[in-house]
């Protein structure tokens, strides 16, 4: 370690500091330096007490919390593939197959996004933020495994520039960048993000063919088209061996991630609970006034289908784009749940409503906060007067 540090400090750094040949790339160098070692910069005046929970550590907690869904997603990609071609496969086969399919998505998303981040950091002369570590991993997990790589790159660049950098970079964004990337793909290349053919990597080689009765439809698509009798079992959907975006299928893996997020204090339990409450509320409301099969679907089914669990735990809790106030978080989360189920059941054009619901409520989050703060001021003024 010491040798590496000395090597960086004495051999590499002089090229990048002011006056060096590669002065322009100082921020790039700095990012890698602080990635390996703690930043050498110290405060110049006065003393500051800082929590060890800085942005880098927060982001890493989220990345760790994403590991269960990522690993399960990789397994599921392989499992769905071998099921589709009717081939027996073991746990390892499934996982290796999925790894080889998902890894390129992750690499492309990181390379594209970090390139933009580095360019903006150099232009604006600030440190490269760690925020993209999470976004870069979220993007591959919320898209189908068959998405072409160049589209992933385009969507990532769009999300980082239009979703984040125009507003001033990490911490200033109105919308969740990862969801923005998905929304961009959804509207720009709908053929690759909806329908029945994209969720499972089939990639038939010679001599292989799809099993009889293979549809590739997600549970939500089945419900939208009225094939309610083909729905997988509740347990199957809870475990997650169903078609869907890479990371969203397994509720059990998401719960594991939620445990990590809540235990480390990174994710807001208030938001998670209120999203679930909102979803259940709307589901029950539909049950009460049911006029078709979809509306009669038990409310708890909604929680394990599609991206509901994933969105609740990883997307809705994004500390930047969510509401900041305590009461605001309840309102924000509850409305996400309500709108999601509303879109799912009522609008046949969008089988899944989680993405649109969260983006929609992201826009409203500042408004909710404003009224919560105003109400608080009013309440305290009244107390003062009495």
Partner 1 sequence: MSENMDNNKESLFSLKNRKLLSNPLSKENPISVQVLGICSVLAITVQLRASIVMAISVIAVMGFANVIISLLRKTIPPRIRIIVQLTVIASLVILVDQILKAYVYDVSRQLSVFVGLIITNCIIMGRLEAFALYNKPWPSFLDGIGNAAGYGWVLLTVGFFRELLGSGTLMGYQVIPDALYEVGYENNGFMILPPMALITVGVIIWVQRHRDRELIDVS
Give contact residues for partner 1 (rule: CB under 8 A). Answer: 148, 150-151, 162, 166, 184, 187-191
The answer to whether 185 and 143 have CB atoms below 8 angstroms apart is yes
Identity of the residue, 166 or 284, whose beta carbon is nearer to partner 1 in the bound complex: 166
> For residues 62 and 76, what is the distance between their CA atoms, to the nearest angstrom?
21
User: In angstroms, what is the minimal distance from the CB of 108 to partner 1?
Assistant: 14
Q: Could you tell me which residues come within 8 angstroms of residue 357 by beta carbon, excluding any fewer than 6 positions away?
A: 311, 335, 336, 337, 339, 340, 343
> For residues 306 and 220, what is the distance between their CA atoms, to the nearest angstrom?
7
The 3-state secondary structure of 204-263, one letter per residue:
CCCCCCCCCCCCCCCHHHHHHHCCHHHCCCHHHHHHCCCCCCCCCCCHHHHHHHHHHHHH
Identity of the residue, 189 or 360, whose beta carbon is nearer to partner 1 in the bound complex: 189
> For residues 150 and 285, what is the distance between their CA atoms, to the nearest angstrom?
42
User: In angstroms, what is the minimal distance from the CB of 218 to partner 1?
Assistant: 21
User: In angstroms, what is the minimal distance from the CB of 7 to partner 1?
Assistant: 38
User: In angstroms, what is the minimal distance from the CB of 197 to partner 1?
Assistant: 15
Q: For residue 114, give the nearest of 156, 147, 150 by alpha carbon.
A: 156
Identity of the residue, 151 or 297, whose beta carbon is nearer to partner 1 in the bound complex: 151
Q: Round the CA-based radius of gyration of the chain to a whole number and report it.
A: 23
Identity of the residue, 151 or 160, whose beta carbon is nearer to partner 1 in the bound complex: 151
Identity of the residue, 4 or 172, whose beta carbon is nearer to partner 1 in the bound complex: 172
Q: Could you tell me which residues come within 8 angstroms of residue 225 by beta carbon, excluding any fewer than 6 positions away?
A: 217
User: In angstroms, what is the minimal distance from the CB of 157 to partner 1?
Assistant: 13
CA distances to 76, 82, 98, 314 from 201, in Å: 11, 9, 9, 25
**The two structure tokens encoding residue 78:** 């392989």
Q: How many residues does the chain have?
A: 386
Identity of the residue, 52 or 191, whose beta carbon is nearer to partner 1 in the bound complex: 191
> For residues 382 and 386, what is the distance between their CA atoms, to the nearest angstrom?
6
Identity of the residue, 187 or 289, whose beta carbon is nearer to partner 1 in the bound complex: 187
User: In angstroms, what is the minimal distance from the CB of 151 to partner 1?
Assistant: 8
User: In angstroms, what is the minimal distance from the CB of 148 to partner 1?
Assistant: 6
> For residues 218 and 245, what is the distance between their CA atoms, to the nearest angstrom?
9
Identity of the residue, 139 or 275, whose beta carbon is nearer to partner 1 in the bound complex: 139
User: In angstroms, what is the minimal distance from the CB of 158 to partner 1?
Assistant: 9
> For residues 189 and 351, what is the distance between their CA atoms, to the nearest angstrom?
16
Identity of the residue, 148 or 265, whose beta carbon is nearer to partner 1 in the bound complex: 148
Identity of the residue, 154 or 273, whose beta carbon is nearer to partner 1 in the bound complex: 154
User: In angstroms, what is the minimal distance from the CB of 186 to partner 1?
Assistant: 9
The answer to whether 361 and 339 have CB atoms below 8 angstroms apart is yes
User: In angstroms, what is the minimal distance from the CB of 187 to partner 1?
Assistant: 4
For tokens 């006065």, what's the residue? 46
């Amino acid at each position: 370690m010491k040798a590496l540090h000395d090597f960086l400090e004495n051999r590499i750094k002089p090229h990048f500091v002011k006056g060096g040949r590669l002065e322009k790339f100082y921020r790039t160098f700095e990012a890698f330096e602080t990635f390996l070692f703690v930043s050498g910069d110290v405060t110049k005046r006065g003393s500051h007490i800082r929590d060890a929970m800085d942005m880098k550590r927060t982001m890493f907690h989220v990345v760790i919390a994403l590991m269960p869904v990522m690993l399960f997603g990789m397994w599921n990609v392989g499992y769905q593939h071998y099921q589709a071609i009717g081939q027996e496969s073991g746990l390892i086969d499934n996982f290796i197959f999925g790894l080889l399919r998902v890894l390129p998505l992750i690499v492309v998303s990181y390379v594209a996004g970090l390139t933009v981040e580095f360019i903006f950091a150099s232009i604006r002369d600030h440190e490269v933020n760690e925020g993209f570590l999470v976004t870069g991993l979220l993007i591959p997990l919320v898209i189908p495994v068959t998405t072409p790589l160049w589209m992933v790159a385009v969507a990532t660049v769009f999300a980082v520039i239009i979703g984040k950098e125009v507003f001033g970079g990490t911490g200033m964004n109105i919308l969740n960048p990862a969801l923005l990337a998905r929304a961009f793909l959804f509207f720009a290349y709908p053929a690759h993000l909806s329908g029945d053919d994209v969720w499972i990597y089939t990639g038939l080689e010679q001599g292989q063919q799809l099993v009889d009765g293979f549809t590739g439809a997600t549970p939500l698509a089945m419900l939208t088209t009225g094939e309610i009798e083909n729905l997988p079992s509740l347990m199957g959907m809870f475990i997650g061996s169903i078609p869907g975006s890479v990371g969203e299928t397994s509720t059990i893996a998401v719960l594991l991630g939620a445990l990590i997020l809540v235990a480390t204090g990174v994710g807001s339990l208030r938001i998670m609970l209120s999203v679930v409450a909102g979803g259940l509320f709307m589901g029950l409301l539909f049950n009460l006034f049911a006029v078709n099969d979809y509306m009669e679907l038990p409310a708890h089914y909604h929680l394990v289908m599609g991206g509901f669990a994933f969105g609740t735990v990883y997307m809705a809790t994004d500390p930047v784009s969510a509401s900041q106030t305590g009461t605001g978080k309840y309102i924000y989360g509850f409305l996400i749940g309500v709108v999601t189920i509303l879109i799912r059941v009522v609008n046949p054009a969008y089988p899944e409503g989680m993405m649109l619901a969260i983006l929609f409520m992201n826009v409203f989050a500042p408004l909710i906060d404003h009224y919560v703060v105003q109400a608080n001021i009013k309440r305290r003024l009244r107390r003062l007067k009495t």
